[in-house]
Amino acid sequence: MIKTIEQIEEEIVDEFSLFDSWDDKYEYIIDLGKKLAPLPDEYKKDENKVKGCQSTVWLEADYKDGKIYYQAESDAIIVKGLISMLIRVLSGHTPDEILHSKMDFINKIGMTSHLAQTRSNGLLAMVKQMKHYALAFSLKS
């Protein structure tokens, strides 16, 4: 059975509850960033760039059989780790599910309050962009 967005969010919150310190959390996020599959060069075009990020983020979304599949990359490794989590949560779901997702896990793992505002803008911009794609695909279908 395919896990719901909420179930995946819960999984991540559980995983993060195992870490004692932010040093450990960041090491984990950096590790996720290093493991994220690189985005093919053809997708690294200007229209795929997410605005509002301190680093460059490219986001590509494909719509197949009623579900959206995301791929993304960044030149900053922590940002890549964060994207990797967003993809894990949202990719493979329907536009409707993505549009209605609360994305509470970002708060629950302490990311929003821990990142300084100037640095968390990008994270929120990515979520927003992913939802924009969902909205666009939901209008098309």
- Catalytic center residues: 53
Contact pattern from residue 29 through residue 68 relative to another protein, giving x for each residue in contact according to CB under 8 A and a dash for the rest: -x-----------------------xxx------------
81: part of which helix (H) or strand (E)? helix 77-90
Beta carbon of residue 119, minimum distance to another protein (angstroms, whole number): 6
Residues 74-113 that bind another protein (CB under 8 A): 75-79
The residue with tokens 């200007």 is: 46
**Cα angle 4, 129, 93; round to 5:** 20
Residues 6+ apart with CB under 8 A from 36: 72, 73, 80, 81, 83, 84, 87
Beta carbon of residue 54, minimum distance to another protein (angstroms, whole number): 4
The residue ranges that bind another protein (CB under 8 A) are 22-23, 26-27, 30, 54-56, 75-79, 114-116, 118-119, 122
